Amino acid sequence: MCGIVGFTGHHQAAPILLEALSKLEYRGYDSAGVAVRDGEKPTEVVKATGKLINLSQKIDGGRTLHGCCGIGHTRWATHGEPSEVNAHPHVSGNCSGTGSGQVESEVVAVHNGIIENYQELSEKLQKNGYRFYSRTDSEVVVKLIDYYYRKYKMGPIDAINRTLVRVRGTYALCVMFKDYPDEIYVARKDAPIIVGTAEGESYVASDVPAILSYTRKVYYIDNLELARIAPGEVHFYDLNGDEVEKEPVDVPFSEEAARKDGFEHFMMKEIHEQPKVVRDTLHSVVKDGKIALEIPDDVLENIEQLYIVACGSAYHAGMVGQYVIEDLAGVPVRVELASEFRYRKMKLNKKALVVVISQSGETADTLAALRLAKEKGLPVAAIVNVVGSSIAREADYVFYTVAGPEIAVATTKAYSAQLISMYILAIKLALLNHSIDDAAPLLSELETLPSKIEEILKEKERIQWFAAKFAHIRDAFFLGRGIDYAASMEGSLKMKEISYIHSESYAAGEMKHGTISLIEDQTLVIGINTQKELFEKTLSNLVETRSRGAYIAAITQSGCYSIEDNVNFTVYIPRINELFSASLTVIPMQLLGYYMAVARGLDVDKPRNLAKSVTVE
């Protein structure tokens, strides 16, 4: 959610802020704004609703805003409707307008997160003479910082610390003070923010891609930490105001990895990157036929239960993992939505391992679930894609997927990397539990996945034709049994989140328990049917929907040609061990969702109402 950027150095800040914000558009937003300082002159604040181009046009690409220190923001509305007055940055002064233009305010700031006790704080501030021009919780934080800064004559670090002690909720804050014209102050709690430095200049951002054009040396700010940022230097502090030593981290991917490379959309580029991502993630932990995980063998040997906790597509990867782990290793698995797990009162098995999955490593509910599990005394392993993220730092053990930056809101390659991590964990558990004697045949199967994904991608024009034919539909159903059912969840999500077509996934055997009443003439049903023991039963369920008028598209393994007599359209995937079929069946489903969205003229990379990472509850 929301994007934050900041810059202080020797170049004009506004063009840099705009470029950095453009790299964060995938996070989702409804308005944008920047604030720029030019020495001792008043701060210039400019805001605009809608797309970032509207803001850019207001300031002629940044050329009309002068100054070498500034902050910027793309807002996702939570408190207060999308509008210029509610857009960030916010100012501490008692403005009669929107807080835009030249402002003499002591404090200017941008905020990502939610302040839960903002009404209580607002009432306190109003009693002390503050007036509010917006309907946001963020303006409260800015004015509270100003209150402590001026009333108690504190320095910026102490004023921010004093404010954060009073605040309940989540925040990533980027603050400028009138008395410190070339400095930016940053603080975070449960919302991501990073700092980068290069050649006498410093950068702030919500995510790495925003500043990759300028530096690959970044600092990850820990929870409840602050930073003072000056040109080319950064100092970190805890809530007591004591300075904290911190080492920079080199970002493992380049700026080029976050470009489209000739593809029309990031999503299509990332779909095509999946063979490499699968190969790289596999080889990151499998060397010379041996699986080397950070999780110690004695931890895995002694578990009686596995809890997999995640949100969205990561949850779907966990569902696939449940089937594979229970089949291969015989370890009982429960897959929980992080947003539910954190509030459940269930009794947890003390001999369990909790596995949390998150692409960004900052997903709010998943992070909260991790902390809950640790409070309960359970070991936590994290499967994440972002090195140094909050979940990676707080987990006991980490399995990094090697997907590189994923820009499109709808995940593709990160999901495929998560599937590989599930397979590897299953094989490792099976070896330790003596459910299998030799991992070589299974690892050999995994080695074939990249080339088999490439085979499917060669047939994408056929799926494009099919998508164009059905782009007008209002409803779609995805059916499967076992692993195919788990895979269908991700296919259905891809359809609905980018094409806006209502879509549901069901265990095929459940269709007749009510949902079949929704089947009408030409209703689209996508059947995933790759499991040999379940093949005939699933086919029977598909035929039953066809008899009610449904148009059936089936995804199955090559060689199962008998299915063609019973369905309208068939996509064949290369033959693979059935346990790993989800890595192949998901490819045509990703392509189907993509081409449906393109045919409907939609913004594939930035679907409405969605953000790449959900960092607030």
| 520 three-class SS | coil
- Predicted local distance difference test score (pLDDT) of residue 77: 77
Q: Which CATH number does the domain 3-251 belong to among 3.60.20.10, 1.10.1240.10, 1.10.260.40, 3.40.50.11540?
A: 3.60.20.10
Torsion, CA 493, CA 499, CA 500, CA 505, rounded to 10 = -30
- Predicted local distance difference test score (pLDDT) of residue 96: 53
Pairwise CA distance, residues 230 & 255, whole Å = 24
Question: pTM for the whole thing?
Answer: 0.80
Q: Is 311 a catalytic residue?
A: no
Pairwise CA distance, residues 31 & 51, whole Å = 7
- Predicted local distance difference test score (pLDDT) of residue 208: 86
Q: Is 612 a catalytic residue?
A: yes
> Please, which residues have CB within 8 angstroms of residue 592's CB and are 6 or more apart in sequence?
463, 466, 467, 491, 494, 495, 526
Percentages helix, strand, coil for the chain (3-state, rounded to 5) are 40, 25, 35
- Token pair 């370890």 is at which residue? 331
Q: Which fold has domain 264-456?
A: Rossmann fold (3.40.50)
606 and 409 in contact (C-beta within 8 Å)? yes
Catalytic residue among 23, 47, 428, 612: 612
CA-based nearest residue to 550, from 499, 606, 476, 485: 476
| 69 three-class SS | strand
> Please, which residues have CB within 8 angstroms of residue 86's CB and are 6 or more apart in sequence?
31, 75, 77, 80, 134, 135, 136
Pairwise CA distance, residues 164 & 434, whole Å = 52
| 459-602 is classed CATH 3.40.50.10490 | yes
Domain with CATH 3.60.20.10 in the chain: 3-251
**Would you call 617 exposed, middle or buried from its count of C-beta atoms within 10 A (0-12, 13-18, 19+)?**
middle
Catalytic residue among 2, 68, 69, 311: 2
H or E, element range at 544: helix 535-546
Q: What is the mean pLDDT of each run of 10 residues along the chain (617 residues)?
A: 90 96 82 93 93 93 93 85 91 69 84 91 93 92 94 93 91 94 93 91 92 90 92 94 91 71 88 97 95 95 96 97 98 96 89 96 92 96 92 96 91 97 98 95 97 95 93 93 97 96 91 79 91 90 84 91 87 96 98 95 85 61
| 344 three-class SS | coil
Domain with CATH 3.40.50.10490 in the chain: 264-456, 459-602
- Predicted local distance difference test score (pLDDT) of residue 370: 96
| 218 three-class SS | strand
- Predicted local distance difference test score (pLDDT) of residue 513: 83
What is the separation of C-alpha 593 from the centre of its chain, rounded to a whole number of angstroms?
19
